[in-house]
């Protein structure tokens, strides 16, 4: 049973490959995308049950912040952890405002990343549970 189901989004191919290996070794289910557009596509697929998106900030085409915005709009329950090769206060603030779960700098400590992903996944599941509960309550009340 995987700890979490993650979508890794980064335009650097070797980085994605190695990260996939390392995350898989730590019992994470990893899907990959090499651009923001591809990420949204993958998220749109019916079989997708991605819980956390690990998202690079600097990407050609649709950059990280833009992608984050799109993801949050289309899939509000999916959590996003941002990864970046350089830190800017402005990008961090923007990311947090748009609803990112957290923000990490590359190269990051693997253990820290896994912990964060775990936290994000937990939150997502918690949110889902609450929604389901609320729905059941509603149905029950209607029936009553």
- Cross-strand bridge partners of residue 30: 6
Is residue 115 within 8 Å of residue 96, measured between CB atoms? Answer: no
Number of Cβ within a 10 Å radius of residue 125: 14
C-beta closer to another protein: residue 49 or 88: 88
Nearest approach in angstroms of CB 77 to another protein is 28
Closer CB to another protein, 58 or 123, in the complex = 58
| Span interacting with another protein, options 8-16, 36-44, 118-126, 127-135, rule CB under 8 A | 8-16
The nearest distance, CB 51 to another protein, in angstroms, is 22
| Inter-axis angle of helices 64-74 and 36-44, nearest 10 | 20
Q: What would the x/- binding string for another protein be over residues 81 to 110, using CB under 8 A?
A: ----xxxxx---------------xxx--x
Instruction: Determine, following the binding rule CB under 8 A, whether residue 12 of this chain makes contact with another protein.
Output: yes
Residue tagged 């889902």 (tokens):
128
Distance between CA atoms of residues 62 and 35, nearest Å: 7
By CB under 8 A, tell whether 15 contacts another protein: yes
């Amino acid at each position: 049973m995987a700890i979490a189901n993650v979508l890794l989004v980064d335009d650097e191919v070797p980085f994605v490959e190695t990260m996939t290996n390392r995350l898989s070794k730590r019992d994470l289910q990893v899907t990959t995308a090499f651009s923001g557009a591809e990420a949204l596509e993958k998220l749109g697929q019916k079989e997708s049950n991605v819980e956390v998106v690990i998202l690079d900030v600097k990407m050609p085409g649709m950059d990280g912040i833009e992608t984050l915005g799109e993801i949050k709009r289309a899939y509000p329950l999916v959590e996003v952890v941002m990864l970046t090769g350089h830190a800017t206060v402005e990008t961090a603030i923007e990311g947090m405002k748009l609803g990112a779960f957290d923000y990490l700098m590359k190269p990051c400590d693997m253990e820290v990343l896994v912990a964060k992903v775990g936290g994000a996944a937990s939150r997502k599941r918690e949110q889902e549970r609450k929604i389901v509960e609320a729905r059941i309550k509603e149905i029950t009340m209607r029936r009553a």
